[in-house]
Amino acid sequence: MKRALENIEEQYQTFQILDEEGKVVNEEAMPELSDEELKEIMYRMVYTRILDQRSIALNRQGRLGFYAPTAGQEASQLGTQFALEKEDFILPGYRDVPQLIWHGLPLYQAFLFSRGHYHGNQMPEDVNAFSPQIIIGAQYVQAAGVALGMKKRGSKSVAITYTGDGGTSQGDFYEGINFAGAYGAPAIFVVQNNHFAISVPVEKQTAARTLAQKAVAAGIEGIQVDGMDVLAVYAATKEARERAVNGEGPTLIETLTYRYGPHTMAGDDPTRYRTEDMDSEWEKKDPIVRFRKYLEDKGLWSEEEENEVIEKAKKEIKEAIKKTDEQPKQKVTDLISNMYEELPAHLQEQMEEYKEKESK
């Protein structure tokens, strides 16, 4: 029986295209991307790193509310999103705001989401996405349902969802992948394994050697990917999408990645559970540094171009937070009216009471 388990685990070797020095180690798996597409991926990763830095600063200034840092996970987040089509549906976790932004969510609305403003959760009509899920793993069940709806409508699109390694310990994770597998729903389930569920290491969450192998129990495809290698992440997601729209069922993608910052800005101290050696080891695998080396070797990227992206990001972030500040303040009546199409009697009474207070 132990041997049977070992045979399964041996199937889940980490898929990689670029090594830590930005050198191609898997030429056969290289995705078909134009030079402009390669540069666009780099542009988005650099922009997102600056967005993370500025968001942390804004949070410390009291200008943002809830915020979950993303630095270190750019390849995992943006490599998956870049493989999508506009009609595909994103069901994010709370750390997955960058995917929403690059899928079309205006930056000022992302800031409003952080502040808990209802408008931050109102997706524009041309953005197929749910607002970020706070309940760990709940988006997996939702993604299975959205994907099944797509299948029933005959749509050639997919639903993609994200969770961390801790999310795989939740019942919703298993229910979601099992349901999607049973009905052949066109879903892509991404597990961003940054090795800690807040402070709990992945080794204490599961005895499985990989998280990708959890796909076996649901009868779906699973793959473990170097989550610091944006080309590998893109290639794996692209293939998963093609399989899904061709009626071959869902895929579970485990991306091995690392968050450099705390779990959230709400008091988590990663120095209490992560060592300096671990941080240094993963910083050597930085997805932006790795991809930069690759593009520079191809003559596609320069320090000047990167500085232009940085300055553009800073300018647009400044404009977005200004627009955020200009939005009407959220009122209690907004919360009440947004909850129901028809208010029950007790809330109707409260609505009238608050309307009177707000008019004074």
Distance CA 296, CA 286 (A): 16
Cβ neighbour number for residue 271 with a 10 Å cutoff = 9
Which residues in the chain belong to E strands, given as ranges?
A: 89-91, 159-164, 187-193, 196-197, 200-201, 221-226, 251-256
Q: Is 330 exposed, middle or buried (0-12, 13-18, 19+ CB in 10 A)?
A: middle
Give backbone dihedrals phi and psi of 89, rounded to 5 degrees, phi first. -110, 125
Closest CA to 234 of 91, 22, 21, 30: 30
Distance CA 97, CA 107 (A): 10
The token pair that represents 333 in the structure block: 């009546």
Helix axes 35-60, 74-82, angle to 10 degrees: 130
Distance CA 300, CA 313 (A): 20
Residues tagged active-site = 259, 263, 273
The token pair that represents 259 in the structure block: 């968050």
> Residues 6 or more apart from 20 whose CB is under 8 A from it?
228, 284, 285, 290
- Rounded to whole angstroms, the maximal C-alpha distance in the chain is 74
The token pair that represents 62 in the structure block: 């009291």
User: How far does the chain reach from its first CA to its final CA, in angstroms?
Assistant: 73
Closest CA to 91 of 212, 12, 189, 230: 189
